[in-house]
Structure 1
Amino acid sequence: MFDALALLLVCQLLGEVIHRLAHVPLPGAILGLLLLLLWLGLVRKERPKLGAVTGWLTAHITILFVPATVGLIDEGSVLTRYGIGIAVATIISSLLTMLVTVAVFRWALRFSSLPDERWEEEL
């Protein structure tokens, strides 16, 4: 289990190093995922071990939110000053994202081989 966790961390680290040294316009985390994907394509024996580790991490994902929550508590003065604005901006941007996603989906649906009526029936 430790070697699979180390593989995840090494891929993350290498992705960050590539991002910072080569100035690649992708985040280091994405580069790390691409490196992990390449590794898993080349070394297939790692898959079961990695599956166990990722299952454990997913089951305990709430632990990963503790540092962010503590960081929010430290920024109490900023939140009392700008909290309502941040909440309103978050709600509006979330609604706009949903509306744009629906619009793009409907636009893409027009160009697919499946007509709208038939698509709705299958849902």
Structure 2
Amino acid sequence: MLAAIALLMTCQLMGEVIHRVTGLPLPGSVIGLVLLLGWLALVPRERPTLKAVTAWLTAHLSIMFVPAAVGLIDEGEPLSRYGIGILAATAVSTLLTMVVTALVFRWAVTRFGPGDAGDKEGGEAMS
């Protein structure tokens, strides 16, 4: 289990190093995920252990948000100055994301869904 955690941390660190050294316009964490994906493609025996570690991390994900919440508390002045704008932008972008997701889902169901679109059952499901 420690080896899997070390693999995750190493990929993260290498991604950050690559980002800083090369100046790629991708976050280091994304580069680290690509490195992890490459590693898992080359060494598939790592998958079961990594699956156990990531399941544990996902189950305890709420713990990961505590540092972020504490960081927000330290940013009182910028939040008081730009807080309304941040909330408005977050609400609008969330609403737009939900609408676009629903529209794409409806399109995908009508395009790739089971049965003919002219079926009585299929037609009722789309309404």
For structure 1, which segment, 14-23 or 41-50, has the greater mean C-alpha deviation from structure 2 after superposition? Answer: 14-23
- Distance, in Å, in 1 between the alignment partners of 2:90 and 2:123 is 32
After TM superposition, the structure 1 = structure 2 runs for residues 67-82 of structure 1, keeping only pairs within 5 Å, are: 67-82=67-82
Q: Residue in 1 aligned with 2:6? A: 6
- Does the residue aligned with 2:68 lie in a helix, a strand or coil? helix
Q: Does 1:43 align with 2:47?
A: no
Identity of aligned residues (%): 60
Structure 2 unaligned runs (5+)? none
Equivalent positions of 1:64-103 (< 5 A) are 64-103=64-103
Q: Which stretch of the first structure deviates more once superposed, 95-104 or 78-87?
A: 95-104
Offset from partner CA, 1:16-52 (integer Å, 9 cap, x none): 2222222333222111111111111111221111111
Letter in 2 for 1:41: A
Are the structure 2 counterparts of residues 116 and 22 from structure 1 closer, same or farther at C-alpha, using a change threshold of 3 Å?
farther
**TM-score normalised per structure 2:** 0.76
Structure 1 unaligned blocks of 5 or more: none
